[in-house]
Structures are given as structure tokens and as C-alpha cells.
Structure 1
Amino acid sequence: MTAASGQFRNMHTMIRVFDLDRSIKFYTEMLGMTLLRRDDYPGGKFTNAFVGYGPEETDTVIELTYNWGREEPYELGTGFGHLALGVNDIYAVCAALEKQGAKIPRPPGPMQHGTTHIAFVEDPDGYKIELIGLDTM
């Protein structure tokens, strides 16, 4: 069985967050995703919230995991790279995000070794999200 046989589907990416409500607000209000579901697991002392641009049955989504009682933000480590979202008019999107208070450590512009325009925005926990200008690819 191979991935090409249609037996596999990318379902979600999970990231641990320090302040779940703040993260949900960022992904829904700033990035335009929908809160698809939020489930508490008292026995495990954690909450999962799933956000995305479409239903989990057909779209890849992001799982935000909040571990109850955490007193310190997570260290991002060196293994994780970034999430990537395609956008139209990357300059207008970044201007709107910046106006809402988003951190944009890499403003929009062409890639160093290409013509596609990209930018990076940070979520409240410091995770990098690459914005890719669909109209510049």
C-alpha cells in the first residue's frame, strides 16, 4: 500500500499552545480560520481545539493543544520549521495583520532565490507561519 493508492490523507498538524483562547483568537480573527471544535479531556488534563478553513472530513486543519496548569510557555526547539498558508495579495494581507497587531518578522517580498513572494507571521506562541503569495507563484 502506498500513499499514491489513496489510503492516506493529511488530517491535521498539532501544536502545543500556552494560552488557548489567545491562540484561537489569532487563528480565527487574524487568519480567518473557523473554530471547528473544542474538546476538554479532564482525565488527561488537556483541551484540544481544531481550527481550519474547511471541515475536518475534507480539509487539513490545525490542532491546538492546551495542557492544563502549564506555567511556562513552550520552547519551540530547532526541529519545527513552519506552517504555510497560501494567500492572494500578500501585501494587503500582511498590512491588515500588522494593523491588528500581528508580529511579521519577515515582511512580504520575493524569495531570495525565486520570484514567489512570501512573508512570515508569528502566532502568540512564536510559531512561524509562512504566507505564500498565490498570485506570485
Structure 2
Amino acid sequence: MRLLHTMLRVGNLERSIEFYTKVLGMELLRQKDYPQGEFTLAFLGYGNEDENTVLELTYNWGVDSYDLGEGYGHIAIEVPDVYKAAEDVKNAGGKIIREAGPMNAGSTIIAFAEDPDGYQIEFIGADHVRT
């Protein structure tokens, strides 16, 4: 078994694709409309789907926002330098909601960004310790 993708429902597919490609540097891998179901799927990632876990964006035609609820947490992206990643997001017009620095209960350096639909993205350094 392997983890294939995580799906997020988005209110404006073009805006979300622009954020994930231009601000976070992902590649749009594929996109398809499903007229009978009135939705569009777009798959994005940092590498092909055969070898990487990717992000699936689902746009339900005519729905422009969602209540994120209390159960959702965040997507985590490993980066070489958390401080630089957060600065790069700001410079690209993205929103940082937690500046880079040590996490509350430890020394791991993290930062959080927010996508156009309010989903949180954590940046965590490539040198963090997996415990």
C-alpha cells in the first residue's frame, strides 16, 4: 500500500491552481472535467504520481466556498529552509499565518501558510527529526 493523494474541495479552481503552482512551486500534473457529475479534478505535486503523493483539488461547479470544520488540520511540506520558504510565499503574494520559528512544544522550526480557501500548509525543515 502507499498513500496516493489528499483531496481538497476548492471554491475557485484557477485561483487554487495558481496558488499551488506559482506560490508553492507544485506542477499541474493533470486536470479533467466531469460534466455528468458537474465537477473538475486537478492533480498537483512535486513529482509524478507513480512515485509521489500528490494533491487533488476538486471543484464542484457552482460552489464557491466550504466550511472547513474543526477536524481538518493541515498539509505538511518539507522544505530545505523554513525561514526562506515563508519569505518566498510572502514575496509571491501568499499569506503566512504563522511566521517561521520553533514549534510550541519543541525546537523544530515550522511556519504556516494559508491557501485561498483557508486550508493551512505547514512548512517543516528537511533536517527535522522524525520521532
TM-score (norm 1): 0.91
Query: 1:58 Cα shift?
Result: 1.2
Greater mean alpha carbon deviation, residues 9-18 or residues 86-95: 86-95
Within 5 A, what are the aligned runs for 1:81-100?
A: 81-100=73-92
Look at both structures and tell me which one has the larger radius of gyration over its CA atoms.
1
Give the unaligned 5+ runs of structure 1: 1-7
- 1:66 alignment counterpart: 59
Query: 1:136 Cα shift?
Result: 4.8
Greater mean alpha carbon deviation, residues 36-45 or residues 96-105: 96-105
Aligned counterparts of 1:112 and 1:40: Cα–Cα separation in 2: 42
Give the unaligned 5+ runs of structure 2: none
SS of residue in 2 equivalent to 1:135:
coil
Letter in 1 for 2:84: A
Letter in 2 for 1:24: I
Aligned counterparts of 2:50 and 2:102: Cα–Cα separation in 1: 34
CA shift digits 1:2-23 (9 cap, x unpaired): xxxxxx1100000000000000
Aligned counterparts of 1:111 and 1:16: Cα–Cα separation in 2: 28
TM-score (norm 2): 0.95
- 1:28 alignment counterpart: 21
Asked if 1 retains the 8 angstrom alpha-carbon contact of 2:38 and 2:60, the reply is yes
Query: 1:135 Cα shift?
Result: 3.2
Asked if 1 retains the 8 angstrom alpha-carbon contact of 2:23 and 2:93, the reply is no
Aligned counterparts of 1:27 and 1:77: Cα–Cα separation in 2: 22
Matched, 1:134 2:126: yes
Matched, 1:109 2:121: no
Asked if 1 retains the 8 angstrom alpha-carbon contact of 2:22 and 2:92, the reply is no
SS of residue in 1 equivalent to 2:127:
helix
SS of residue in 2 equivalent to 1:27:
helix
Two-structure CA RMSD over aligned residues (Å): 1.0
Aligned counterparts of 1:73 and 1:112: Cα–Cα separation in 2: 31
Letter in 1 for 2:38: K
- Structure 1 segments of 4+ aligned residues over 2 angstroms from their partners: none
Identity across the alignment (%): 57
